[in-house]
Structure formats: structure tokens, C-alpha cells
Structure 1
Amino acid sequence: MQRLDMKQLLSQKLSPQQIQFIKLLQIPTAELEARIKEELEVNPALEEGDDADDDFEEQDRDEDDADDDFDDPDAEFDNDDNTLDEDFDRAEEQPELELPQIEESTAEKDTSDDVDLGDYLNDDEIAGYKMQGDGPGDADEDREMPLADNGASLVDSLLDQLGFVAVSDKQRIIGTQLIGSIDSDGYIRRDLSAIANDLAFSQNMEASTEEIETVLRLIQSFDPPGIGARDLQECLLLQLERRPADPDVENAERILAETYEEFTKKHYARIQQKLDLEDEEIRDAIALILKLNPKPGGSGPVGMGKVQYIIPDFILTNDNGQFHLSLNARNAPDLRVSPAYTEMFQAYDKASKKDKKMKEAVTFVKQKLDSAKWFIDAIRQRQQTLLRTMDAIVRYQQDFFAEGDEGRLRPMILKDIAQEIGMDISTVSRVVNSKAVQTEFGIYPLKYFFSEGIATDSGEDASSREVKHILKEIIDGESKGRPLSDDKLEKMLNARGYNIARRTVAKYREQLNIPVARLRKEL
């Protein structure tokens, strides 16, 4: 038997405009430029220009003067002030994003003096506005935003080199398969028998491991040196084969070929005894090996590891103790609603005859105008949120920005900044993600300024970055013939007043990419 039940549920839903603001907030400057170009292409009612306030905006809603004042992206403010601009204060008091009220239509009308937004808007989606990938999702919120790179890849370069070599059709197919099996570091880590099986299934070709080995040796002669190696030992030996013959190269080849295990463990005394080398000979040979590239796939202009340039989102200057913070001009583009589309909408109001086709046309125009306004509002609110967050970071880490000394960094977590600016931690996280600031001491990612606190003997908390900085100084000053163990490092840090355990020392050392004491040993 069917039953009818009435339930009262409380749920939270983000409006499309809020979703757009969240998406724009977390992307870096380079990504923002691409997003703005995309919006300009799909929305003809949005134009580049400095006159963002037109007649349509005045008719549709009453905007606060703070939006007009914020059009200048280079507006500066002093860090010593305890309050933000009045624009920020007013923006905080107002709701972050507010959609126009939607009135429901109870009857269909052929002609109407007003265009009801309910005719073309619904609660779930705004046609023509909804951006690709909209919707709440945690999968990509914390991911780093890579920069686009149109350079040639390592695979393309190797295939080009294969094309200049006179080989048979079978060898060319084998070579293509081998090149496709090279990983990002430049190694082939699959067994040749497995590659033979791949050729049998994908190319319907039978090839012996000897034939594949012959083609592999050919690929290993390509640039960059060391490409196509099956392990680190072979990679280093391949690079030594390209060097002119001399005693240092011969000794280096002997070390790698005959005493590779001892070399990886830095047992130099055993190597010297086994190969009967003088102190100077083994020192020069080891120095030559250390200059070789262990990851040939990420080297050179055709490597898989691409150079990506950091575009700072903020610019911070220090004028005799007065900090001035401004946004990168690319974060504050000049956008406006198209006057032509505004005139089209006004012409509809003045038209004496309004049929169904005209109503459909003006509905489309109104939709594009609203979409353009919402996008401009989202850009402006992005600017405000970025500046508020960065200003709080500057005030919190004022000692560091004054001197650039890593040891002056204070312990700071996302919650501290969120409480400072009165926003949610997730909002601060989106601001910090993939953003950077240009200072007098270099360009720093915003994540650099966030660290946990370590208890000290004085009762105060020290930044984990400060502890890492001191740990690195101690290791840099150690005797390379007898490097310090983690236990000794722990005792030295404790003697300086930092209450830190040995396992924490090991964790910080690994985060600094510093090997254990045995591997830091030098001749």
C-alpha cells in the first residue's frame, strides 16, 4: 500500500554565481587570462573596456560605489594600517554573491511588457553561463595549476631522430614501441620480453629479445645522452661512453662497472682497495660521475620536464618600513557589459509591438547581459578576496617581509588567516593554492608562509621552517668526511632550545631532500 509522507529537510546548495566565483578564486594568474578569453568568446555581451558601469546595470540593480572604486588594480595600502579599505569592509558586510530575484510565472503570455527571468532561468543551471567543470567537487580543488607548454616532447624528438636513421621497417616498428615505453625520467623499465609480447599483440609482429636489444642500443645512441637505459648504472655508463677517453673517464667506468654496489653505498675505501686507485684518482673519478645526469628524460629543451615560469599574483614593495601591496595587473582586467546589447534590451522596452519572436530574442539578450554582469562581479570579488587574504599574511609575517630571513617566519596555519579576515578556511585554501607573491627577496608561493609550530624552551612556538633552516645550516657546516647522524642532529637542535624528536629530524631532512649521513659522506 502506497503512503504519502511529508518530510522537512535542510540542505545547502551553491548558486551558479557562487560556483563561478569559487572556480575563479582558486586559479592562478595565467589560468585566469585563459578563462577570461574563453568567456569573451562565448558571451558577446562581455567586452574589454574600462567602462564597466553602463545604463543597463543602473536599471537592473543598485550597486554600491565600492565596486567602482575597486576598478583600479594597483590600488595601494599601507601594511601598518590595522583596517582594510572601506571597499573591503563594505564587501564583507554584504552577501558575497547575490542572484537577482526570480519570479515564477503562473501563466504563459504571448506578449509582455517585461521579460521574466523565470522564463529562462531555473534553480539548477543557467544556460549559456555554466562553465565547464562547474559543480562542487574536491577532486581538483587542491591540485596544482600547470602552465600550458607547446614545446616538443621527448618522444617526438626521439621519433624524429629515428626517422633519420636507415633501418628496416621491422626495426622502425620496434624502435617506435621502445620509444613509447620510455618513462618521464628517460628510462625503459620494462623487460624486453614484455615489449616483445606487446609487439605480438599490438602489431602482430614476432620479434626476439636479441632484435629488440639491437634496436635499443641504437636508441641509446640518440640525444640526450643516457636515454633508453634500463637502470641507473647503465644510464651513467652510456653517458661516459660519449666522453673523450682519458684516465678519469676510464676510472669512472671501472667504478660503475666493477664496484657499483660499493659506489651507491659510498664505501670509497673498498673501491680504492679493489681497483687499486690513488686518492687523487678516485676523487677525480667520483667527481666526474657526480656531474652526470641521473634523469636524462628531464634534461634539455626536448625533455619531458618543462621549465614553467612563475607569474606572481601579488607585488609587495617596502618603502622605508611601509609595505605596499598590489595585485598583478593581469588579475584586474578591464571588462564591461556591451553597450550594444544594452541598447537592444532598451529598444525592446520602447517597442510598440511585442510578439513571441521578439520576446525570445530579448530573453537571449537579457540572459547574456546577466551572465556578463555576474562574471564581472566574480572577477571583482576575486580581487577583493585575494587582497584581503594577502594583506593578512603580510601583517602576520611582517618580520619576514622586512628582512627576508627565513628564521623570522612565524608559525601560521590556514585557520589563523581565516579568523583574521573572517572567512572560511576553504576560501583561504583556494586563495593560497597556486598563487605567488613578488617581494624584494624573490618570488615566493603563498604556501611557503604556512608552517606548523615547534615548542621551544622559552615557551614560545617556532616555525617549522625556522627549524628546517637551522637544520640545513648545521648540515651545511658539518664535516663531509664524518657527517652528522640524525641522533646527533637531534641533540644539537635540543641544545639550541628546540624540543624536537629524532623522527621529526628525519622527516624534516627528507623534506629538504638531504640524504642520510652515510650518503652525505665525501672524500
Structure 2
Amino acid sequence: MLKQNLQQKLLQKLSPQQIQFIKLLQVPTVSLDTRIKEELEENPALEDLSLTNMTEPEEQYPDRDPDEDYSSGNEESNDFDEFNIDDYLQEDNVNEYGSRYDQNGDDEEERKEMPIAIQSSFFENLQAQLDLLPLADKDFRIGQQIIGSLDDDGYLRRPIMSLTDDLAFSQNVMAEDEEVEEMLKVIQSFDPPGVGARTLQECLLIQLRRKDTGDPITTKAILVVEHYLDEFTRKHYDKLEKSLNMNSIELRGVINEILKLNPKPGDSNEVNTKQHQVIPDFHISNNDGVLILTLNSKNAPELRVSRSYQEMFEHYDKASQRDKKMKEAVQFVKQKLDSAKWFIDAIKQRQQTLLKTMNAIMQYQYEFFLTGDEKNLRPMILKDIADRIGMDISTVSRVANSKYVQTEFGTFLLKSFFSEAIQTESGEEVSNKEVKKILEEHIGGEDKRHPLADEKLTEILKEQGYNIARRTVAKYREQMNIPVARLRKEL
């Protein structure tokens, strides 16, 4: 049975401006330029002053009340008569928009992008080697199919039978499994060594056999990989010495020979500098014991309203007749002006939020930024910073997860400064980063022939006043990507 009823609900919804700000806040500096370029392409009412020759004072929107309704939907025709050019055009000092904390200004060096060397990709390199071989058309197409079926790490993980089916259905090439196998051996002779392997064992063997010139170390390394790979992986060196009738010195040479090999040959050619480039969002300098925080100038682009759109408004204001087409044109202009204003406000709010959050983190971790010693990191959670700056925890999380700060001791992700508290025997609360640092020091200084087990590390920490359980030690060790004692063993 259907019923109708009235009810009142109190809902909290994000406005389009808030959504835009949230999206901009989590964009790292390295991607901010791209995001601004996208907005410039979509909105002709927005201009980048760095790309415009300025010959007179530029104009920009005044700040708006964040509680004001910016709706730009369908409005009554008499609303157009209420437009005021002065609401959109005001004399403004462009430099005020930049980061006032950045003493360096817009340094020309900062505007230059890092050049990227032009190089062929991994698959292009393999294709080039295939092109040089005197092959029949059928073999060439089989080789192309094999190369196209390789994973990014250089392995062939598709069965030969599947490749044969692919050739028949997609290229109308009727090939036998043996023919595909023969062409796979040809591909495996290409550079980088190990490419086209179907397993790790095959990958290592391809590389060792290519190096084998009668050297006894290489010969024994082939024997280990071919018949004792499991014992080698598990570091059962005693079993290897007994099975191969070798002493520890000979076995160490064999192990070093295997460790020189590349387990992922495809990754060696895929080096994209742009993807791995980190641009710090903040800079912290030490001026005689006083920390100075500056925001990367790339976070403060100089944006303004387009001059041509200003002239459109002026033309409308002076027009004596305002027909329907004129009103539609002005409505379009107003919508673009509002969109440009929202974007400029979001960029400015992003800049202020970044500075406010980073300044609170710097003050909270002042001793660390002075010394660079991880043992001086205080326990800090997102709520500690959120309470200090009067913002939501989610806002602090968006800043911390994608922003970097450059210090005298290196460049750090903000997220790395947050840690849980651990209580010592004296009742003092310390950061778990301090415990991890102590663990790292003890593991780094251990006798690799007899590495420290988690139980022994727990005892060492308890002796130093850190009363934590063995499972916690294991958790911290795994977080630092340190293997168990058995796998840290060396000869």
C-alpha cells in the first residue's frame, strides 16, 4: 500500500565550491600545474598572469563571503539588470595573491621544468631488435605476438597454447606450439638479459648462461639456481655447502654472483623521471635556531579574470537595448566569471590551509626540524593537528597524505611525522618512530651470520625501558620492510 507523508530532514551537503576546494587540496604540487592548465582551457574567463604581458595594473575579483549564494542557474530576466561590473572588476595588487611567506618570490629557476631524456620504451627496444633479424613473415608476426604478450617486468606469463590461439584468431596465423617455442628462444636472446622468461628460475638461468665463459663461480651458480633454488631462497646455506661440497668462502662467491642478476629485466628500461620526481610543497630553513617556513611558489599561481570578459561586461552595461540573445550572452559570461572566481578562491584557500597545517606540524615537531634526529619526533596523530588549527581531521589527512616538506635533512612526506605513542617504564610517552629507529640501529649492527630474532630484539628494547610485546616488534619490523632473522642471514 502506497502512502504519502511530509517529513523534515536536516542534511549536510557539500557545495560545489567545497567539493572543488577538497579536490584541489589533495592535489600535490607536481600535479597542480596540470590541474590549473585544465581549468584555463575549460574557462576562457580565467587567465594566468605568468603567460600574459602586463602593461597596466591588473584586475581581479574581490573576496566574497563564503556563506553567500553563488548560484548561477536559470534566473529571471530582471536579474541581469542587477549586474554590477564593479563587483567583478577591482584594482588589485597582483603580488598580494602570491605566497607572502616565500621570500624568494617567483624565481626563474623554479619555473623551469626538469628536462626528460627521450628514450625508447622497453617494448620499442625489443621490437627494434626483432626488426633487425632476417625472419620469415610468419616468424616475424609470432615474435611480435610474443613481445606484445610480455608483462612490464619482462616475463611471459601467458601459456604457449594461448599465444597460438591468439595468433590464429587475431592475426589469422596458423602456428604450431613448437614454432612459438622456437621464437620465444629467439626473444630470450634479446637485451636486456632474462627477457621473455616464464619463471624467476628461467630468468636467472638465461642471464647466467649468457655470462658463462667457463668461470667456475658462474658454473656453480647455474647449478644452484637449476637444482637448489628453494634452499637458496630460504637461505639454508648449511644444506647448500653439504650438497655442493663447498666451503663458506666458495658459497659466498656463488651467492654474490646470483645476487648481481636482475629478477625483473623489463623494469630496467622503464625509467620515467617525471613520474618519480618529487616537488616539495614546503621549505623549512633554520636561521640560527629559528625555523622559517615557506610555501613553494608553484602553489600560488597568479590568476585573474580575462580582460576580454571584462570588456563584455562593460559593453553590456553601456548597451541601451538588451534583447534575449544579449541576456543569454551575459548569463554565459556571468557563469564563467563565477566559475573563475570560485577557482581563484579555492586556490587561495588551498594555499592558506597548507600553510596553516604545515605551520602547526612544524611547531609540534620543532625539535625534530632543528636536529633531524628521528628520536626527537613526538607522538602525533591527525587529531592533534586538527585541534590546533580548528579544522576537520579529514582536511589534515588530505594535506598529510600527498604533500612533501624539504628540510636541511632531506625531503619528507608529511604523513611520516605522524606516529602513535608508546609509554616507557618511567611513564613517559614516546613516538613509535623512536622505537623503530632503535630497532633499525640494532638490526643494522647485528652479526649477519647470527641475526637477532624478534624475541632477542624484544629483550633489548625492554632493557632500554621500552616495554613492548614481541608481536609489536614483529609489526614494526614488517612496517620497515625488514625480513625475519632467518632471511637476514649472510655468510
TM-score (norm 1): 0.80
What are the residue-to-residue correspondences of 1:382-401 with 2, within 5 Å? 382-401=350-369
Percent identity between the aligned chains?
Answer: 57
Offset at 1:330?
0.7
Partner Cα distance (1:112, 1:403) in 2: 61
Which residue, 404, 418, 437 being the options, matches 2:386? 418
Q: Determine if the alignment matches structure 1 residue 254 to structure 2 residue 258.
A: no
Q: Secondary structure at the match of 2:411?
A: strand
Offset at 1:491?
1.6
- Per the alignment, do residues 466 and 108 of structure 1 end up closer, same or farther by CA in structure 2, a change over 3 Å counting? same
Larger relative contact order (Cα-Cα within 8 Å, sequence gap ≥ 6): 1
Offset at 1:322?
0.8
Q: Determine if the alignment matches structure 1 residue 375 to structure 2 residue 379.
A: no
Residue 100 of structure 1 is matched in structure 2 by 70
Unpaired runs of 5+ in structure 2?
85-115
Partner Cα distance (2:119, 2:428) in 1: 50
> Structure 1 stretch 458-467 or stretch 48-57: which is displaced more?
48-57
Q: Determine if the alignment matches structure 1 residue 402 to structure 2 residue 370.
A: yes
Partner Cα distance (1:270, 1:56) in 2: 76
Would the aligned equivalents of 1:297 and 1:303 in 2 still touch at CA under 8 Å? no
Q: Secondary structure at the match of 1:184?
A: coil
1:455-499: CA deviation from partner (whole Å, max 9, x where unpaired): 321222222222111111111111111111111112212222222
Q: Secondary structure at the match of 2:183?
A: helix
- Per the alignment, do residues 56 and 487 of structure 1 end up closer, same or farther by CA in structure 2, a change over 3 Å counting? closer
1:127-185: CA deviation from partner (whole Å, max 9, x where unpaired): xxxxxxxxxxxxxxxxxxxxx99964423332332222222333333323322332233
Which residue, 152, 171, 174 being the options, matches 1:184? 152
CA-atom RMSD in angstroms? 2.8
- Amino acid corresponding to residue 447 of structure 1 in structure 2: K
> Structure 1 stretch 256-265 or stretch 47-56: which is displaced more?
47-56
Offset at 1:53?
9.3
Partner Cα distance (1:505, 1:3) in 2: 60
Residue 47 of structure 1 is matched in structure 2 by 47
Would the aligned equivalents of 1:53 and 1:337 in 2 still touch at CA under 8 Å? no
Residue 166 of structure 1 is matched in structure 2 by 134
Partner Cα distance (1:208, 1:358) in 2: 72
- Per the alignment, do residues 101 and 205 of structure 1 end up closer, same or farther by CA in structure 2, a change over 3 Å counting? closer
Q: Secondary structure at the match of 1:443?
A: strand
Q: Secondary structure at the match of 1:498?
A: coil
Q: Determine if the alignment matches structure 1 residue 266 to structure 2 residue 235.
A: yes
What are the residue-to-residue correspondences of 1:310-389 with 2, within 5 Å? 310-389=278-357
Which residue, 168, 184, 188 being the options, matches 1:216? 184
Partner Cα distance (1:17, 1:150) in 2: 40
Offset at 1:49?
2.3
Q: Secondary structure at the match of 2:190?
A: coil
- Amino acid corresponding to residue 6 of structure 2 in structure 1: M
Offset at 1:4?
4.1
Would the aligned equivalents of 2:59 and 2:305 in 1 still touch at CA under 8 Å? no
Partner Cα distance (1:223, 1:464) in 2: 46
Partner Cα distance (1:503, 1:149) in 2: 47
1:216-247: CA deviation from partner (whole Å, max 9, x where unpaired): 11111222211122222221122222326222
> Structure 1 stretch 371-380 or stretch 41-50: which is displaced more?
41-50
Offset at 1:510?
1.9
Q: Secondary structure at the match of 2:331?
A: helix
Which residue, 237, 245, 262 being the options, matches 1:276? 245
Which residue, 470, 482, 489 being the options, matches 1:502? 470
- Per the alignment, do residues 305 and 354 of structure 1 end up closer, same or farther by CA in structure 2, a change over 3 Å counting? closer
- Amino acid corresponding to residue 354 of structure 1 in structure 2: R
Would the aligned equivalents of 1:115 and 1:363 in 2 still touch at CA under 8 Å? no
Partner Cα distance (2:221, 2:306) in 1: 70
Would the aligned equivalents of 1:53 and 1:336 in 2 still touch at CA under 8 Å? no
- Amino acid corresponding to residue 57 of structure 1 in structure 2: Y
> Structure 1 stretch 154-163 or stretch 40-49: which is displaced more?
154-163
> Structure 1 stretch 187-196 or stretch 474-483: which is displaced more?
187-196
Would the aligned equivalents of 2:458 and 2:469 in 1 still touch at CA under 8 Å? yes
- Per the alignment, do residues 163 and 454 of structure 1 end up closer, same or farther by CA in structure 2, a change over 3 Å counting? farther
Residue 18 of structure 1 is matched in structure 2 by 18
Offset at 1:501?
1.8
Which residue, 291, 294, 298 being the options, matches 2:267? 298
- Per the alignment, do residues 149 and 2 of structure 1 end up closer, same or farther by CA in structure 2, a change over 3 Å counting? farther
Offset at 1:304?
8.4
Offset at 1:370?
1.4
- Amino acid corresponding to residue 248 of structure 1 in structure 2: I
Would the aligned equivalents of 1:158 and 1:179 in 2 still touch at CA under 8 Å? yes
1:41-88: CA deviation from partner (whole Å, max 9, x where unpaired): 222211122899966735xxxx38xxxxxxxxxxxxxxxxxxxxxxxx
Would the aligned equivalents of 1:112 and 1:354 in 2 still touch at CA under 8 Å? no
Partner Cα distance (2:271, 2:148) in 1: 14
Would the aligned equivalents of 2:59 and 2:304 in 1 still touch at CA under 8 Å? no
Unpaired runs of 5+ in structure 1?
65-93, 117-147
Q: Secondary structure at the match of 2:276?
A: coil
> Structure 1 stretch 424-433 or stretch 349-358: which is displaced more?
349-358
Would the aligned equivalents of 1:407 and 1:465 in 2 still touch at CA under 8 Å? yes
1:330-375: CA deviation from partner (whole Å, max 9, x where unpaired): 1111111123322321221222222222212222222211111111
1:254-281: CA deviation from partner (whole Å, max 9, x where unpaired): 2222322221222223222322234432
Would the aligned equivalents of 2:380 and 2:418 in 1 still touch at CA under 8 Å? yes
More helix by share: 2
- Amino acid corresponding to residue 320 of structure 1 in structure 2: D
1:109-133: CA deviation from partner (whole Å, max 9, x where unpaired): 6x963359xxxxxxxxxxxxxxxxx
Residue 423 of structure 2 is matched in structure 1 by 455
- Per the alignment, do residues 190 and 461 of structure 1 end up closer, same or farther by CA in structure 2, a change over 3 Å counting? farther
Partner Cα distance (1:112, 1:500) in 2: 70
Would the aligned equivalents of 2:283 and 2:294 in 1 still touch at CA under 8 Å? yes
Would the aligned equivalents of 2:212 and 2:219 in 1 still touch at CA under 8 Å? no
> Structure 1 stretch 508-517 or stretch 162-171: which is displaced more?
162-171
Residue 96 of structure 2 is matched in structure 1 by none
Partner Cα distance (2:289, 2:383) in 1: 27
Aligned residues: 455
Residue 36 of structure 1 is matched in structure 2 by 36
> Structure 1 stretch 384-393 or stretch 454-463: which is displaced more?
454-463
- Per the alignment, do residues 215 and 99 of structure 1 end up closer, same or farther by CA in structure 2, a change over 3 Å counting? farther
1:184-220: CA deviation from partner (whole Å, max 9, x where unpaired): 3322233333433444444454443322221211111
Would the aligned equivalents of 1:220 and 1:238 in 2 still touch at CA under 8 Å? yes
- Amino acid corresponding to residue 310 of structure 2 in structure 1: T
Residue 112 of structure 2 is matched in structure 1 by none
Would the aligned equivalents of 1:45 and 1:368 in 2 still touch at CA under 8 Å? yes
Q: Secondary structure at the match of 2:81?
A: coil
Partner Cα distance (2:386, 2:222) in 1: 57
Which residue, 186, 200, 203 being the options, matches 1:235? 203
- Per the alignment, do residues 176 and 305 of structure 1 end up closer, same or farther by CA in structure 2, a change over 3 Å counting? farther
Offset at 1:305?
10
Q: Determine if the alignment matches structure 1 residue 521 to structure 2 residue 489.
A: yes
